[in-house]
Structure 1
């Protein structure tokens, strides 16, 4: 985590570390707050599928056009049109439902 500058082309450039108070839970915690809530665990519990490049993008090592899609795993995204039977089949396969 840190402080980022977002450019007009949506690329992120790290500006420096976030103040400790900006972290959920403060005191250097990167995920949990005072009640033990971990947002990453919560999203994962909902069955989220992450792009394998998400961390590199969040750290500024990859531009948005280089991030592989969480569903089709291509960069740029090559998913079928949203809402089509092929799109929903891809979602089901990616979540291990077929």
Structure 2
């Protein structure tokens, strides 16, 4: 799992995800990700956020709109939770 500590400025995150800065702001407004903020309000992106941005790029490339992407991301997160619960419920050998 990727690090969730916000360490990258928006310009670095945009460059690493190969996106425009304004797109990152749109994705945040649409609820696709929520970067950390400094006390002054500056966005700080984590490795996990960048992974989400890369996934958004993949889904956009497949023709999904932002509402569809939000749903896919939510379902993928739910599957991750269920998988971890199944892993915890399995008896040890």
TM-score (norm 1): 0.23
TM-score (norm 2): 0.23
**Greater per-residue helix proportion:** 2
Q: Structure with the greater relative contact order (CA < 8 A, sep ≥ 6): 1 or 2?
A: 2
**Greater per-residue strand proportion:** 1
